[in-house]
Structure 1
Amino acid sequence: MSHSAARLDALAAELADPDCDFDRIEALESELLTARDMALIPRLQEHLVGAVDAGNGYGRHVLCGILAETAGSRALPELLRAFAHDLGDDQDSLTATVTEFARQDRAYARSIILPWVTGPDPGLRRTALWLLGYVPEPDDLDLLADAAQDPDDHVRSVTMGTIGSHTKTTARAVDLLTTLLADPGPQVRVSALSSLGFAQQPRTLPAIHRLAEDDSADVRAWVAIDLGRFPAPDPASLAVLDRLAGDADTYVRENAVASREKLTA
């Protein structure tokens, strides 16, 4: 076994230990980041899978960083597979890494994620659809319209955001999101509202106003948030915000008041 492989195994063991020595982890991590030993890539991948399977978010963070530094953008498939698992951490650094790699080589990134969009694993579908928003192409809308009918609420919710990446370039994306405000999942409706709020298309306001009567307090709150994003006060929007300012839910009321103040400032 090479020196680097032994150091990697030692790092993996520390990461798996609840009573790990963080100073030792930092020293081993620094050594492996500096080494950039390409021969370690298969072993890195193996340890990364083990950390993810064990639900070890910190282990995933450290091993993904070493793998990314060692393999560069060629590590994107393994990084995305690790990213697809919700381990309860924010994944900020991994998010930044995979989006940067995808933008560096759009064709490579798309060659990885497009087959996943229609694959059997909902985690990979969700991850692929999310990343597709960072490397969009005009022809993606047909694929996204199909993904918006996915049986998994989380997949459909992510799809709303990716459709939103097309709203500045095609009216069809705005029309599609407006239609999807009728989705049965409250979180999906919230995601569609969020994308429409950033699009700021006045023709979508009547559809947004209708959701002020939604059964979900989160949806009603996002109606208020959305209306505050439009650049000019609209009498109908102000009337909706006045109604929401008297909502039974505190979060809805707070956002309605904040948006009305923003629009009338």
Structure 2
Amino acid sequence: MEDQRAAGELTPRLDELAAGLADPDCDLDDLAEIEEELVAARRQELIPHVEGHLAAAVEAGDWYARHVLARILAETAGHTSLAALLRAYSRDLGDDQDSLSTTLHVLAQEHPAAAREILLPCAVGDDEDLRRAAIWLLGFVPERADLELLAHAAQDSDEGIRSAVVGTLGSHGTEPDAVDLLLNLLDDPSPQVRISALGSLGFLQHPRTLGKIRLLANDHDPRVRAWVAIASGRFSALEPADFATLAVLDRLAADADPYVRDQAAEARHIKPLRD
């Protein structure tokens, strides 16, 4: 009877919390007390109610309410909350979502098989936001079989999806097919995707990619050229750079853009040229 009464009392407390989160004049200390009470309770009966409030908060564009309610849901439901948390995470509400992204990849890594059952359908679905999030999270539970899915997503019209593909490909290490896909993405029309691919390739430091990386020293976007220097510098951190790479870094150290010059000089370990 005591447990039933406690469960019945917690639903109004959850409703009170949700209403307070939507009220800009509500006392945050009072809300924090309710949040901790609900987290500590971990009542399974509350899960559908928390999911409903979380979905409403996302629909309202309230990032702070999302943060609070997602924490309660994760603590209460564990890995079974992953689908609802992924949907909430997939919507851009303007915050960095550090805590929610950490929660998602920890849950996925703790229960990879269950996570993949949720992620794979989302990664090929019609909801672009959800696709992007699912492809990102697949990078924490990678399997070689994902490369076909990633190759298809690398051709997507959505720049954000292609960028997510780059990060997930990086989790496949120096698997040849994954490296080939990253090299192809160096030709992407989006400068941001090219930058992401350079970052992943610089981290992987696979020798056969360096020639293609150097070609982007002629890119029209100065940020891309800067990342050519950054990626090249990561290679030379392991062993002395070859003459072709040194020549590229020297040329970038005299680039018209000051950021490019700084990055090239740092990679080359020389004093940058100043205007």
TM range (shorter): over 0.9
Counterpart pick for 2:115 among 102, 109, 115: 109
> 1:29 touches 1:62 (CA, 8 Å); kept in 2?
yes
Counterpart pick for 2:261 among 246, 253, 264: 253
Give the secondary structure class of the aligned counterpart of 2:211: helix
Sequence identity percentage = 57
Q: 1:196-217: per-residue Cα shift (whole Å, max 9, x none)? A: 1111011111110110111112
**Whole-Å Cα distance in 1 between the matches of residues 98 and 30 of structure 2?**
23
The CA deviation at 1:7 is 0.7
1:240 equivalent to 2:248? Answer yes
The CA deviation at 1:96 is 1.1
Q: Hey, what does 1:191 align to over in structure 2?
A: 196
Instruction: Describe how 1:37-186 pairs up with structure 2 within 5 A.
Output: 37-168=43-174, 170-186=175-191
Which amino acid in the other structure matches residue 245 of structure 1?
A
The CA deviation at 1:99 is 0.6
**Whole-Å Cα distance in 1 between the matches of residues 164 and 194 of structure 2?**
11
**Whole-Å Cα distance in 1 between the matches of residues 163 and 30 of structure 2?**
41
Q: Hey, what does 1:214 align to over in structure 2?
A: 219
Q: Which runs of 5+ in 1 are unaligned?
A: none
TM-score for the superposition, normalised by structure 1: 0.95
Q: Hey, what does 1:17 align to over in structure 2?
A: 23
Q: Which runs of 5+ in 2 are unaligned?
A: 1-6, 271-275
**Whole-Å Cα distance in 2 between the matches of residues 251 and 8 of structure 1?**
50
> 1:158 touches 1:191 (CA, 8 Å); kept in 2?
no
Q: 1:86-138: per-residue Cα shift (whole Å, max 9, x none)? A: 11111111111111110111111011010111111111110111011110111
Q: Hey, what does 1:227 align to over in structure 2?
A: 232
**Whole-Å Cα distance in 2 between the matches of residues 102 and 246 of structure 1?**
46
Q: 1:56-106: per-residue Cα shift (whole Å, max 9, x none)? A: 111111100000000011000000000001111111111111111101111
- Equivalent pairs counted in the alignment come to 261
Give the secondary structure class of the aligned counterpart of 1:61: helix
**Whole-Å Cα distance in 2 between the matches of residues 200 and 83 of structure 1?**
31
- Runs of 4+ with deviation above 4 angstroms: none
Give the secondary structure class of the aligned counterpart of 1:151: coil
TM-score for the superposition, normalised by structure 2: 0.92
The CA deviation at 1:244 is 1.2
Which amino acid in the other structure matches residue 73 of structure 2?
L
**Whole-Å Cα distance in 1 between the matches of residues 16 and 115 of structure 2?**
32
Compare CA radii of gyration and give the structure with the larger one. 2
**Whole-Å Cα distance in 2 between the matches of residues 40 and 147 of structure 1?**
37
The CA deviation at 1:3 is 1.1
Q: Hey, what does 1:2 align to over in structure 2?
A: 8
